[in-house]
Structure 1
Amino acid sequence: MDQQTLAERLAVLVKSYDVRGASPQELDTDVARAVGAAFAVETGAAADPAGGGGGAVVVGHDMRVTSPQIAEALAEGITSTGADVVSIGLASTDMLYFASGEWDLPGIMVTASHNPSGDNGLKLCRAGARPIGRDTGLSAIADRAVAGVAPTGSAGAVTERDALTAYAQRVTELVGVEQGGATRRRLKVVVDAANGMGGLIAPAVLARLDVEVHGLYLELDGTFPNHPANPLDPANLVDLQAAVREQGADVGLAFDGDADRCFVVDERGELVSPSAVTAMIAARELRKHPGETVLHNVITSRAVREVIVESGGTPVRTPVGHSLIKAEMARTGAVFGGEHSGHYYFRDFFLADSGMLAALHVLAAMTASDDPLSEIVAEFERYPSSGELNSRVADAAAVTARVAAAYADQEQDRLDGLTVTAADWWFNLRSSQTEPLLRLNVEADDEETMVSVRDAVLTLIHQEESP
């Protein structure tokens, strides 16, 4: 592939905090090979041209159709610089972060997370699972890939290493839920893996607990034959909700494609708001670590901030995005961070996000109580919300400006997109970093106000431009 074509491809693929796009149309083996070599140089894993020995890079991949070829091409690019590759094979993204943190190696995860089956992508981190985003190395890697990296005289080696066993042990130990622990009851848990990587990690982790597991779509299949691996869309939770009710289960867990996000369904088959999960985990972590800082992003419920303060912690509001939040966790020393999109970050897990750790916190809270999950989380679900509403628009900046002008008399901030706040409601309008969408979240003190604000903003968003 020539430099111009590679530059054009990367201009499309490089997002704020990962690489993502159609595969193989945009992300193919040539792009992966160039990025692999550039990544090895950027992270210091490449051998010194003067003759110094190289380091190593850990590589994992999900179950998407093109993922094995992309991972192999990455390895070719990395080893061409004299660096070694430690391949963990099929993995969830939080497994890759665990391996990077535990082995102190930079890492690349091949995944497009919850995107459609025709997409693929790369999530990158430095040694210790430290994040790489556009402004913290990703742009430099893209520039270096386009410029080209000359191969060294001696290529590195590729070795395979199991990370799943140690990962499963670590996450259960962190929450203290392994078999033999004190519990009030044995839970019945339904897991919907959506044919994604949850089908690999959930059975391995939950086998360490005294729980009864019923699996949905655990078979790894990157074509997603049953439903898309995006639990943020309510349509993709329908099967899990029905199974929870039919099985008389205590809880349902839904994972996205790379299993770094987890959504929770209570015993009634009702979705537990990710903000409520964030508040619950924040309260649990602050009991262990009194007075610490907890992060929450711009679209989490006001209840999250309230619970953090009530629990004696210090809340810090952040933009959306995993590399941004990890950097802020490192800066503030936060013990935990939560996003309304179902990402949960833990200081004790290399500051990385883990859907499985969040799920284990929910299970631990349940086994320590006689109450059903709906009652346990009731104290954390305080305000009616719209959920995330996505709109496709021709000009996101123009639409956002129109909405801002309409609410010019209200408090506004631009920490991430547009947040407008009144005494009894707030909304956030922001552009997706991975899809051509404008995302709206609304919350209010009561349902009537929430619906009124939601409908008014949506009308502004979809207002036709004057000819």
Structure 2
Amino acid sequence: MNIDWDAIVKTYDVRGLVGKSLTTQIVAALAAGFVDELGAAGKDVVVGHDMRDSSPEFADAFAAGAQARGANVLSIGLCSTDESYFASGVLNAPAAMFTASHNPAAYNGIKFSRAGARGISMDTGLAAIRDRAKIYMETGIDEVEVPGSYRDMHILIQYAAYLRELVDLSDIRPLKVVVDAANGMGGMTVPAVLGHASDLPQLPLEIIPMYFELDGSFPNHEANPLDPKNLVDLQKAVLEHGADIGLAFDGDADRCFVIDENGQAVTPSAVAAIVAHREIAREKRANPKADVTVLHNLLTSRVVKEVIEADGARAVKTKVGHSLIKDQMAATNAIFGGEHSAHYYFRDFWGADNGMLAAMHVLAEYGSQDQPLSEFAKKYNPYYLSGEINSTVSDVAAAKARVQAAFADRADFDEFDGITATNKQELGKPADAGNWWWFNVRASNTEPLLRLNVEASTEADMVQIRDEVLNLIQQKA
């Protein structure tokens, strides 16, 4: 086989077209490489999968490859990515989760975790797993003298109970909540955590389900709530039902997006600020003298840093990236981390991200006061954001050079992650005086795209900067 390993093994995970770039043979080889690289022979390895048609077969192939190299497979079956992290954390075992997240039905992939739900990226083991898998594809997988065992484990109720311990929703006011699971794993986890599909006490939530049937062909819309077109059904349903709030989950249910009672999106940055506010308060109650750190990636709204610092915590800016932020969570002992893409990381969840937990924090904070969500969220969304705008660009370096040249006299640049331009302040004025704006242009880690994010203190400035930079990015050479 002529395998393009670099196309399959991405910066943070494995992803490819089912039956073409990703096959059961490749999956088994990756499993063998995973066990060898992590020294997991004779130890437990968690394997879970989402509802995609190819996921059970891939999970079985991974189990076979892992067992051949001596690992004891703990199959948790159908699960969300959050559940996979929970199993990895609570069992202190490495894990492999089969999902392509928000990608279309033709794709699948693997999200790996070290024991304790710690991330694995290209720089921290994924490249080595890939290189070991290459050899196994050429030579075959050598089965150890004593292959590993296999057993099933059901963790959904334990997972739901753990989240209920972290966020108490029992005393909030009654809320009508429309949830769009997009035929993804939220259709299984939402009833268990927020609804009646467990023996846990009933919550003051009326859940109105949309697309809860698990279906990896995504018959209603793509399971990618970052794309506004996939929120339209939820927005309509919130208005039709007179609901207090809408929640949208992606395919593997590790990201959650929020809609207010008017059908308008509450930005992921506003959600990050709300959760940060709650987590800081909780930590200060438990440890009044503790130094509290909260992470935010460089693309979140300026308000996130402002809320963190106003609440007496240290705000640490990070680059974009799942495994990178997991590593930073551990290195800084941060209690929480938020990304513009609706990934939310929690120290009490082994530093891993959990969209359900973020949704519960929003429900708890919002449900503890009487304002409608649109009013409540205003203080967490005072500025104007473009959202992430993606462009396919043949020459990334040339596009970046055009942008830098055009803004050389108007902005200060840094290259912390991509290029970030911040408007130059007028002489004699403090840094926060007058109108301000910033934008970031960065290449995707997972797709052939150039991504643009813009924020400004006024809508007019945001629109003007957005359109100007977008024109420069898309300009033909």
Calculate the TM-score normalised by the size of structure 1.
0.94
Deviations 1:279-334 (CA, angstroms, capped at 9, x unpaired): 01111111112341100011100010111110101001111111000001111110
Q: Distance in 2 between matches of 1:415 and 1:89?
A: 40
Structure 1 match to 2:383 = 383
Is 2:16 the counterpart of 1:27? no
Structure 1 counterpart of 2:415: 414
Which residue does 2:283 correspond to in 1?
A: 289
Structure 1 residue 233 displacement after superposition: 0.4
Q: Hey, what does 1:242 align to over in structure 2? A: 236
The amino acid of 1:196's aligned partner reads G
Per-residue deviation, 1:337: 0.2
Is this contact kept in 2: 1:191–1:254, CA < 8 A? Answer: yes
Residue 182 (1) aligns with residue 137 (2)? no
Counterpart AA for 1:319: K
Cα shift at 1:154:
2.1
DSSP 3-state at the match of 2:166: helix
Q: Deviations along 1:329-365, whole A, 9 cap, x unmatched?
A: 1111100000010000000000000000000001101
Q: Deviations over 1:191-246 (max 9, x none)?
A: 00000111110111112522100000001111111000000000000000000000
Q: Match for 2:469 among 445, 454, 457?
A: 457
Structure 2 residue aligned with 1:56, among 17, 37, 44?
A: 44
User: 1:172 deviation in Å?
Assistant: 1.4
- 1:138 equivalent among 123, 126, 138: 126
Cα deviation digits, residues 66-93 of structure 1 (max 9, x gap): 1111111100100001111000001100
Q: Which residue among 132, 145, 164 is the counterpart of 1:172?
A: 164
- 2:287 corresponds in structure 1 to none
Alignment of 1:30-429 (within 5 A): 30-46=25-41, 54-148=42-136, 149-177=141-169, 181-183=170-172, 185-207=173-195, 208=200, 209-290=203-284, 291-409=291-409, 410-422=411-423, 423=425, 424-429=436-441
Taking only aligned residues, the RMSD between alpha carbons, in angstroms, comes to 1.1
3-state secondary structure, aligned to 1:88? strand
- Given candidates 10, 13, 19, the residue that maps to 2:8 is 13
Give the match's secondary structure for 1:75. helix
- Distance (Å, rounded) in 2 between the aligned partners of 1:94 and 1:338: 16
Q: Deviations over 1:27-80 (max 9, x none)?
A: 11011000001101111112xxxxxxx111000001112111111110010000
- Amino acid of the structure 1 residue aligned with 2:253: A
Distance 1:111 1:404 in 2: 38
C-alpha contact (below 8 Å) 1:196/1:256 kept by paired residues: yes
CA distance in 1, matches of 2:31, 2:396: 33
- SS of equivalent residue, structure 1 residue 123: strand
Q: 2: CA distance between counterparts of 1:166 and 1:9?
A: 40
- Give, in angstroms, the shift of residue 150 of structure 1: 2.1
Look up the equivalent residue of 1:147 and give its one-letter code.
I
Partner amino acid, structure 2, of 1:68: P
Amino acid in the other structure paired with 1:281: V
CA distance in 2, matches of 1:267, 1:101: 36
Preserved contact between residue 24 and residue 66 of structure 1 (Cα < 8 Å)? no
Report the CA distance between 1:430 and its aligned residue. 1.2
Look up the equivalent residue of 1:251 and give its one-letter code. Answer: I
TM-score normalised to structure 2 length: 0.93
Q: What whole-Å deviation, never above 9, does each CA across 1:177-197 have from its counterpart, x for those lacking one?
A: 2xxx322x2110000000011
Deviation at 1:157, TM superposition (A): 1.5
- Which structure 2 segments of 5+ residues have no match? 285-290, 426-435
How far apart in 2 are the matches of 1:373 and 1:340?
20
Work out the CA distance in 1 between the residues paired with 2:445 and 2:355. Answer: 20
The number of equivalent residue pairs is 449
Identical aligned residues as a percent: 57
Shift of 1:9: 2.9
Residues 366-375 or 225-234, more deviating: 366-375
SS at match of 1:412: strand
Structure 1 unaligned spans of 5+: 47-53
SS at 1:257's partner residue?
coil
